Structure formats: C-alpha cells, structure tokens
C-alpha cells in the first residue's frame, strides 16, 4: 500500500523515534544536504511552516517521511547484467538503504518478484494504471533499437520503456548502461543500444552511472524525490552534482603521490607496493566524475584505486571506447561538457597513443636504471614520462 507513510511503517516494524532521527541525519548527509535553505529551497518551503522552517536537514527529512506516502516504484531491467540490483541488495549500509529502498513501494521488479510470466506482467500493468502520474520509473540496462536483441513477454525493451515512461512522474536511469548505453553500446554497438535519455525526452530523467552505480548515490537521488518532490541538481550529463560534482582524482588517497611525481609503472614494482599513484597504469580518475573515493563501497571499506586497481572511468559516457584500460590516461583532462563526445573520443584516442609510447619509454628506462644500480634513474624516467605526457596533451 503506497499510501502508508515511511515513518508509520518503520514504527510498526519496531524502529524508535531516536533511531529514526539518526537515520534521517545520515540520509541528509548521503543526499549532500548542507542546509534546508540551500537544497531544494522551494520544495523545502512547501514542506515546512512557521518555526519548522529553521529546522536542520535531518528534521526536514523526518517531517517529510512522517507525512508523505511511500513512493510507488516500477523497476525495469532491460539489456543489463543486474549488477546495479545486486549492488543495492548487497549494500553494507542497511539503515539508509532500508529507509529508502525497502520502505518505498516496489510494485514491479522482474528480478526480485516472486511471481513470473503473465502474473508479474499483469501486476505491472495494474500498478501503472493505479499510480499513473505518481510512480518513479527506475531503468537498469540499455535499450536496443532492434527489439530482437531484448524482449520481455514477447515485447521489445523499447516498447516496455516507452509504455512505463508515459505514466511516470520521474525516471531514474541507474548504471552506465541505462544512463549512456554502457557495454552494449561499445564499438561497434551491434544492438544499436541507447541510454534512457536518448529516447525519453518529455520526462525528467536523472542518470546514476557506474558499473555498477554506487548504492548510496542511487538511494540519495531517490530520497531527494521522495522528500522534496523534485530531482536533485544535475550536471550537464544529467547526474546529481552531490555525487558527480568532483572527479575521483580530487578525493583520491593516492593523489599526494601524483603531486609528488611518484607513479607505479608496473603492477609489481616498488611504486605499486608502496601505494603510489596509478596514473601511469591507466587510471582514469582525473577525468571521471564520481563519489567512489569519498563514499567508497561495502560500507566505506574500499574502492578500486584503494585496492590497487586503476579507475576505469565507468561513470563516464563511452568509457569502454576511451582507449586501453591500462594504457595511461586515454581521455582529455577536461570537464565532460567541454567538447562534444565524438571530438572527445578522437582526442582521447590520440592522447592515448602518446601516453602508451611514453609509458613504454618510462618503463624501459626504469628497468635499465634498476639493472645498473642507479638510484636516481627511476625518478628521472618518471619525470621524463610526465613531461612527455604534458607535451602529448598540449598537442
């Protein structure tokens, strides 16, 4: 029953008011709310009245969850691997995820549904009719133009998307596939895969890219709509600025090594063992906008760079076609909107070729220095590689 409020449902399940307010405070932090007057000011004013308008973000959220009915959600899985669903259901932040995901009314989710076949499709049709104009449509997976590549119940993914989008209040495209086409769209894009925003033009769409998307980024965007009735502030690519406003490089724990010019040149050299910057090994952190370095994964345990692997740039469009994953920086160091995507790809490929050559030269020089016992040669080769990269980027 979507008419039941989140707060009443949580109380019925044994949550105390104190724990409820603590969870609301945590949710405010996840949503990036610094103050009620600076986030969704218009919606906040409508929610608050009198002295309540001076309440902090946690109390703003508490008031909304205590008065608003649970939001019905219809979740489509199209050309995908269910990775975003897996990440969400296995999140190690149960308080926040439960507060938002488990306490919304998921009316249809193909993977999680107990029913199957005609029964589950009938349930979806009934939910779309009952909550027309009210539900949030969540889309996971890309959409092929040719219906032969992805069909559910004898109907194409394109048909399912357009039908569900027609009655949605807002749409959340979770994961790189739904946001930008993802892996299915990689060259030569045999299925003619598209992202949601490439198809739906008359509804608000928020992109939560990643492979998979960070669970808390998804729940934060959904909570923003649940609480304030609007989508969060978005960047040029339709992503919430609260989570995609800075590069992975901006908050990376290895950045001091980057500034000091200390780079791992292979996965088993002294630099790799010492935790040095992975830029030379293909890290796309400087051109990838995501909250991986600050929010991390598994309850803040780690993220790929911290675990010793370069960032692949999975929250950026066309990241599969940006050059080799271990080929040095193969994308232009600029904001996503600075150049058209086609031009960016061309520049990225040209830059990648230059970086690959510089990497090979640096590695050869470093190995020669180690063999000769020259302590300063490694640093000299690294400095030369950085200079070569800067020259390549200028070109």
pLDDT digits (tens, 9 = 90+) for 10-39: 777 777 777 777 777 776 766 666 543 333
Please report the pLDDT score of residue 7 as a whole number: 72
pLDDT tens column, 213-268? 998 888 888 888 877 788 889 999 999 999 999 999 999 999 999 999 999 999 99
Q: Which of 211-225, 303-317, 360-374 has the lowest mean pLDDT?
A: 360-374
Alpha carbon distance 182, 297 (integer Å): 20
Average pLDDT along the chain: 77
- Fold adopted by 249-394: Cytochrome-c3 Hydrogenase; Chain A, domain 2 (4.10.480)
Question: 69-244 with 249-394: one CATH topology?
Answer: no
Q: Name the percent of the chain lying above pLDDT 90.
A: 45
Instruction: Write down the pTM of the prediction.
Output: 0.72
391 pLDDT exceeds 70?
A: no
Residue for token digits 């309850």? Answer: 299
362 pLDDT exceeds 70?
A: no
Which DSSP helix (H) or strand (E) runs through 61? helix 57-67
pLDDT greater at residue 150 or residue 94: 150
Q: In the chain, what are the domain boundaries?
A: 69-244, 249-394
CA 24 → CA 70, 225, 287, 308, 348, distances in Å?
Answer: 15, 15, 33, 34, 42
Alpha carbon distance 48, 55 (integer Å): 9
CATH number of 69-244: 3.40.50.700
Please report the pLDDT score of residue 194 as a whole number: 97
Alpha carbon distance 151, 138 (integer Å): 18
- Tell me the average pLDDT across 177-182: 97
């Amino acid at each position: 029953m979507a008419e039941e409020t989140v707060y009443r449902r949580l109380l019925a399940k044994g949550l105390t008011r104190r724990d409820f307010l603590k969870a609301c405070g945590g949710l405010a932090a996840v949503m990036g709310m610094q103050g009620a007057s600076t986030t969704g000011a218009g919606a906040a004013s409508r929610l608050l009245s009198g002295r309540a308008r001076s309440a902090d973000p946690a109390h703003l959220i508490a008031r909304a969850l205590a008065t608003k009915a649970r939001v019905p959600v219809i979740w489509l899985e199209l050309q995908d691997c269910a990775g975003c669903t897996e990440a969400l259901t296995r999140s190690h932040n149960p308080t926040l995820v439960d507060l938002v995901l488990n306490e919304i009314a998921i009316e249809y989710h193909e993977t999680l549904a107990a029913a199957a076949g005609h029964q589950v499709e009938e349930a979806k049709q009934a939910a779309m009719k009952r909550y027309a104009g009210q539900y949030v449509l969540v889309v996971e997976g890309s959409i092929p133009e040719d219906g032969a590549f992805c069909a559910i119940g004898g109907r194409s993914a394109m048909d399912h998307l357009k039908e569900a989008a027609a009655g949605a209040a807002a749409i959340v495209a979770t994961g790189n596939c739904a946001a930008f086409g993802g892996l299915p769209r990689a060259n030569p894009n045999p299925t003619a895969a598209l992202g949601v925003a490439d198809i739906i033009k008359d509804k608000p769409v928020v992109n939560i890219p990643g492979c998979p998307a960070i669970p808390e980024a998804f729940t934060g965007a959904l909570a923003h709509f649940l609480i304030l009735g609007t989508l969060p502030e978005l960047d040029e690519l339709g992503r919430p600025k609260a989570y995609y406003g800075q590069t992975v490089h901006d908050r990376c724990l290895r950045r001091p090594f980057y500034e000091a010019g200390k780079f791992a040149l292979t996965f088993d050299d002294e630099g790799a063992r010492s935790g040095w910057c992975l830029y030379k090994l293909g890290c796309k952190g400087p051109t990838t906008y995501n909250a991986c370095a600050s929010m991390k994964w598994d309850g803040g345990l780690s993220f790929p760079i911290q675990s010793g692997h370069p960032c692949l740039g999975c929250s950026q469009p066309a990241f599969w076609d940006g050059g080799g994953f271990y080929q040095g920086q193969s994308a232009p160091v600029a904001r996503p909107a600075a150049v058209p995507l086609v031009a960016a790809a061309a520049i990225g490929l040209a830059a990648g070729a230059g970086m690959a050559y510089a990497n090979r030269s640096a590695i050869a020089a470093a190995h020669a220095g180690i063999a000769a016992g020259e302590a300063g040669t490694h640093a000299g080769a690294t400095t030369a590689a950085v200079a070569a990269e800067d020259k390549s980027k200028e070109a």
